[in-house]
Structures are given as C-alpha cells and as structure tokens.
Amino acid sequence: MKNILAKLLAVVVVVATFTSCHFGKSEVKEINYSLLPYVFKTDEGAMWLGYLDTKGNVVINPRFPDAWAFSCGLAQVVDTNYLHGYIDETGRFVIPAIYDNETMFFENLAFAHQPGQPIVCLNTAGKVVFELPDIIEAGVFSEGLAPVCNSNNKWGFVNNKGEMVITPQFDQVDLFSEGLAGVMLGDKCGYIGHDGHFVINPQYRTVYTFTFGKAHVKKSNYGYGDIIDKQGVDVSDKFSGCDYDWISEGLVLGTEKQHTIIRNHYGDLMATTQKFDNWGRFSEGLCKVLIGKKWGFIDKKGLVAINPLYDNVSNFHDGVAIVVVDDKYGLIDHKGNVVVEPQYLHIGSIPHFWAGSSETMLKSDMLPKYSCRLDINRTKKKKK
C-alpha cells in the first residue's frame, strides 16, 4: 500500500539512517467529528474557515484564517491577527486569541505559549494549571502523562499537576498507549511504562504505538519489520501480509496471493475478498477501498457496501464520510446516500494557507487536522 503515515507526536524526516518512534494510525478518541472545518472562498479570492455539522448546516460562519478539529468541546482557531485561541461549538471565544502556539485539548488540558513567556498548561476554562519554565516543547496528555522536552533536547513526561514524573532522558518519545510509550535512546528504540522503566529494551530502529496489545517494530530501515506483543515476543506469523499499523475496530486488511484478506487482532482470518488497489482502516463498520481509480467502502465481511464512485473519501465518523468528486467536497451516509452534494472547496483537512507551527500533521484520510505538539522554537518561523 502507498499510505501517507499519520504522525502525531514527532515531525519525522525519513532518511536511510534515521531512527524514530511513530504514534500509530489508530483514531484519536478525543476528536469530535460532529463539526467539520470547511473552506469558503470569497469573490475576492480570500480563504476563510468555518464549521459544518454532519447534515451540512453551517454552524460557525467562515471567519478564521485557520482552524482545527474540536476536542473536549473546544477548537483551536487563528484570528485575523494570526494569534491562536479556542472557540466553543457556537463559535464563541472561550479562551482569547493571545497565543502564538498551542496544542489541542486532550484529557481536558492543553499547552499554550505567548512570546517571551514559558509554556503553560490550560484547562478548558482557560485557567493556567501550571507552567513549564524549563521546557521548550510539549505534547498532549495521554493516560495522564504528557511528553515534554527541555533545552538539552531530552524528552520526559509530566503529570496533570505539572510534576516531572519521568526525567527527561530520551531523544524522542511517543504518547502513551495501553500503558506503554515508544522512546528513542541514542540510536535504538524501545518501550517504557508509566514509571519510566523499560518494559521492552531499546533494540529497534523504529517503533509504533501499541494497539490491541500489539505493535509494529523495525530493526532495520528495510522491509516491513515485525509485530510484537507487550512482552516483546514476535507474533508476525499471525499477521502475514497485513499492515498492522492500520488496525481499527479489531480488524486489519492485508494481501494474500491475488486476494485482499481481513484478519482480527488475534491474527485469525475473518474474510477473503477481491484484491483492492489500496485501503484504509475500519470505522463505524466500514473500510474505504480503492478499486481502479475510485474509492468506495466494504463491510466487515469484505463485501462492497458503497460502490467506488469517488476520487477520494475519508473514514466514517458520526455517521458521515467526506467524499470528493471533481475537486468538490461533500458528505455521504453509511448507505452511500448523499447528505451534502459535493460543492465545497474543502471539508475536513485544511490546506496550509500560512506556515502555522502548532500542527504537526495532516491526517491522511482528510479528516480535520489536530495539533498534538507545541514547539516554541518553531513559532518564529510562522508567516505573519
């Protein structure tokens, strides 16, 4: 498959000698997809962002130069002065646009930064919970811990009280998932627990997030690599032909001879179907697949549920999927019925209208972008 990797925590440049930790492609549960950013182009050619609901109603009028997905009831937006703040689902600023960089809210906390000030942790009311005076980067909370990086470029973790519970010592880290976080120490990667001790010793070139008790790892820069369990035992033989990074809802697609197969998270073969040219992950019982040059959806039995009619599609969330026809964006439901005719310049993922620094990735399935890392050193590169 030719997939664009969705990297949440670290901005990774893939070169032959690079060692890295990758936050996995599993869906981020904190994200609220019931409101979708969309792009409106004025007669003068200006681009503004607002929000649609899943029925296509304009809920928040387009007036922002940039906008992110909602989480914990709030969304990051940029005002006309190119400062960042947070709005609620009515479009009202709950936290004023006074920051030059910030993350989304995860576990009801977010990190934000003002010029000349230390990074602060905010609650959803905008109150400062704690400051991080010696920290230059911070990531979102997961399982009660957030990754932070000091001026020596070493990463550790703080808890939701701002206490440094895992001393900065790693060269790169991922978010915690299922009790483990991938970390890089020198040129090797392994996994630590909440106490900061290694559960799986550093021995890999690349590690991915644990999902359903297993993770994808690579000992070299060549080939797919292996799949391990939480004890570090290689269980790759159970997932032959499958890209485990794309597992979701307990299912993952793969290739076997001239067919596409579906396995569950135990490695059991659940279905054998026609060979597809590409695919995504299951969401709300359906998985997007590429047949020829058009995208459609299959069900968990591998049967085509929505015919391949679209130039591109997103995963399903809140009952709808984004579809693209002739560069116009619309919405369909689980049965393939058109909810919103393709008519918009963009829905969901947002193109880079300016070089903002508070987002680290754009989801490969066109859903709203979300920022999970704050790097104050990159703020100066922002286009004014």
**Per-residue model confidence as pLDDT tens digits over 28-81:** 567 888 999 999 988 888 889 999 999 999 999 999 999 999 999 999 999 999
Task: Using a pLDDT cut of 90, give the percent of the chain over it.
Answer: 75
Task: Tell me the C-alpha distance between 10 and 361, whole Å.
Answer: 9
Matching residue, tokens 């939480």: 230
Confidence grade of residue 222 (pLDDT, cut at 50, 70, 90): confident
CA 158: distance to chain centroid?
21
**What is this structure's pTM?**
0.84
Q: Which two tokens stand for residue 253?
A: 């697609």
Q: pLDDT value at position 43?
A: 86
Q: Which residue has the tokens 């002065």?
A: 81
For domain 20-241+347-381, which CATH number applies: 2.30.30, 3.40.50, 2.130.10, 2.40.50? 2.130.10
Which pLDDT tens digit goes with each residue over 256-279? 989 999 999 999 999 999 999 999
- Report which of residues 149 and 7 the model is more confident about: 149
User: Is residue 245 very low, low, confident or very high in pLDDT (cuts 50, 70, 90)?
Assistant: confident
Average model confidence (pLDDT) for the chain? Answer: 85
Which tokens belong to 263?
């396995």
Tell me: the pLDDT tens digits for 153-164? 999 999 999 999
Other beta carbons within 10 angstroms of residue 326's beta carbon come to 6
Quick one: what percent of the chain has pLDDT higher than 70? 83
